[in-house]
Chains A and B, each alone.
Chain A
């Protein structure tokens, strides 16, 4: 997409005289701005949805109001806007004994780690910033940058709760990366490509005449791999059954205990961006991405966006559903689940998919 923009720029007379480095920065900014807007709007909508869904699941009403200017607007629609304004105008506190440079840098590293992943996510047939031939590998690698930000935040805060949270987070993310990657490899073995669009196009058509040929339905091993991938993804973004790094009842707020105002908002933005990434990756790799459930039916570029966002949105809903249903795991239970249950099963999956591919196709 950057190349496409640069090509367009060369046709415009007043831009052709500029140095190429400047044009590249301009093109990259033009792409990054809508992506940033998307991440921010995604957080706004997801926060509102989360508050409402959690409220309804607990027989409450959630944010409510009687109109603009009264409380939070009709049905509390302005609640997240009010939250955002509150965070923007809040005092920015840096503890006196904190490691100042790392403390300031940490939320941005975490956010960049989440934001940079959006480069590789195909929203539909055409909207994709860069279709790398190592797309899946790129996304897995970049989404692991976030843990550095978390450790930096925990270390630099000079607070035991923050450090505990950061250490837990590091242990958790490194552990769950393994079943996550192994489940991905099952699909990559079937496709034979790491390119995101190739993985989606490989899921075209029907299987057994009724089900869409998505990898979740492809064979029993990928069916299990879907669940391992999704649950490991939820664990990677520190969502509630696995929210040990920010366990309120144990660690105050975990690694972001000492943060306030806009710096805290960046942690929040990164969390919701990561949530969207996990949902999007699961829907691309196992649920056919922008492919319609019925092949050839409503499969244009616009409908591609619709299918992609409805699949990702459903998975985000499932994550919220998890959050408001399950209690938090203990650290030993968390590790047991990863190493004693997910890891053997993903290894068996890997073998099973290999044999399935060898004998049945």
Chain B
């Protein structure tokens, strides 16, 4: 009989304890929520200390970026790429002159006079293996991993996700679409080293 009533007492008190916990969580709903509404909200990027200056080392190899105003179309990065995810097409133009309708700047920030107009500079990031090998040969330091030595030029996009797979192909060439045909050479004189296609 004592057990019978102690059972009742125990069940009532323990149930009330449980109900108090859920009610407290409901009342504090504004403060304690752990859900992050991902595309709209993001966790802050943690500061990382690797023991030496970030300027000389790629802290994060988050994504490749090309500064097209500095690109001279030398194809060194395309040749360095072990998975062939960089595709470049170039056209010979007058040395060191600006072509405003193709958004072409004649002289790079290092002072080099450009001989080639880059009509296509595609990087398929779904194939990229983040080896960073394309970064070292670049004579103008215009291709880099965001988060690396040139991170001040491009904001770090660490989530690096797209809704569509075709959006993973990043097209860096600045020549407008309607101008591309004008600069496309006839098939015979195809520029050497164009392995794209």
Contacts and interface: CB of A to CB of B under 8 A. Distances in A.
Contacts of B195: none
A326 B12 CA distance: 12
Interface of A: 53, 56-61, 64, 66, 321-322, 324-326, 340-341
A59 B34 contact: yes
B37 A64 contact: yes
Nearest to A60: B35
B25 interface: yes
- The 4 tightest CB contacts between A and B, nearest first, are A56-B29, A61-B35, A325-B22, A57-B22
Given A325-B18, A326-B18, A66 B25 contact: no
B129 interface: no
A321 B19 contact: yes
Given A325-B19, A326-B18, A341-B8, A58 B40 contact: no
Given A59-B33, A59-B34, A60-B34, A66 B40 contact: yes
Given A64-B37, A66-B40, A326-B15, A59 B32 contact: yes
B26 interface: yes
B196 interface: no
Nearest to A71: B37
A56 B25 contact: yes
18 contacts: A56-B26, A56-B29, A56-B33, A57-B22, A57-B25, A59-B25, A59-B32, A59-B33, A59-B34, A59-B35, A60-B35, A61-B37, A321-B19, A321-B22, A325-B15, A325-B18, A325-B21, A325-B22
B18 to A, nearest CB: 5
Interface in B77-103: none
Interface of B: 4, 8, 15, 18-19, 21-23, 25-26, 29, 32-35, 37, 40
A341 B10 CA distance: 13
Contacts of B37: 61, 64
A104 B32 CA distance: 46
A324 B26 CA distance: 11
B22 to A, nearest CB: 4
Given A56-B26, A64-B37, A340-B4, 10 more contacts: A53-B26, A56-B25, A57-B25, A59-B32, A59-B35, A60-B33, A321-B22, A322-B19, A325-B21, A341-B8
Nearest to B17: A325
B108 to A, nearest CB: 42
A58 B23 CA distance: 10
A322 B19 CA distance: 7
Contact of B23 (A59, A321, A326): A321
A58 B18 contact: no
Given A56-B29, A66-B40, A324 B35 contact: no
Contacts of B23: 321
A219 B40 CA distance: 55
Nearest to A62: B35
A239 to B, nearest CB: 15
Contacts of B4: 340
B2 to A, nearest CB: 15
Contacts of B33: 56, 59-61
A340 B40 CA distance: 54
Nearest to A227: B12
Contacts of B15: 325-326
B18 A57 contact: no
Nearest to A52: B29
A341 B12 CA distance: 12
B32 A324 contact: no
Contacts of A322: 19
B36 to A, nearest CB: 9
Given A64-B37, A326-B18, A58 B8 contact: no
A207 to B, nearest CB: 24
B9 to A, nearest CB: 12
A342 to B, nearest CB: 11
A53 B37 CA distance: 18
A293 B41 CA distance: 45
Nearest to B19: A325
A192 to B, nearest CB: 31
A79 B165 CA distance: 28
B30 to A, nearest CB: 9
A33 to B, nearest CB: 36
A64 to B, nearest CB: 6
Contacts of B35: 59-61
Contacts of A61: 33, 35, 37
A242 to B, nearest CB: 13
Contacts of B29: 56, 59
B165 to A, nearest CB: 22
A225 B64 CA distance: 71
A66 B21 CA distance: 30
Nearest to B34: A59
Most A CB within 10 A of own CB, among B4, B19, B21:
B19
Contacts of B8: 341
B8 to A, nearest CB: 7
B11 to A, nearest CB: 9
